[in-house]
Amino acid sequence: MKLIAAIIKPFKLDDVREALTDLGLQGLTATEVKGFGRQKGQTEIYRGAEYTVNFLPKVKVEVAVDDTRCEAAIEAIRKAAHTGRIGDGKIFVSDIGDAVRIRTGEAGSDAL
């Protein structure tokens, strides 16, 4: 099993959710986060004063998948989150040792 964590632009969340749902994946966690990458923030003008925003708003999407569906999920996220502009985000993949469904006690891939 794998845990896919994607940091994406906030307005792409619905597209990513829809792409993963189309694959038949159930369950997704989305968290509002702030951060920066190569763009290192941006300069804004508010009431005539210029200031720098060091941390940009992003969304972290996490989904646990079986090994057989990992590549398809990564590609679906990549395509759905792509804008072609700087700050599109990153996808991280980690191994999951085990998963347990609290309600039923199912473990491993059955818990997903």
pTM of the model: 0.85
> What are the tens digits of pLDDT across the range 70-91?
999 999 999 999 999 888 999 9
What does the pLDDT read at residue 36?
77
> 23 or 56, which is more confident?
23
Q: Is 49 helix (H, G, I), strand (E, B) or coil?
A: strand
Average pLDDT, the chain: 90
Q: How far is residue 53's CA from residue 15's CA, in Å, rounded to a whole number?
A: 26
Beta pairing class for 29-35 and 2-8: unpaired
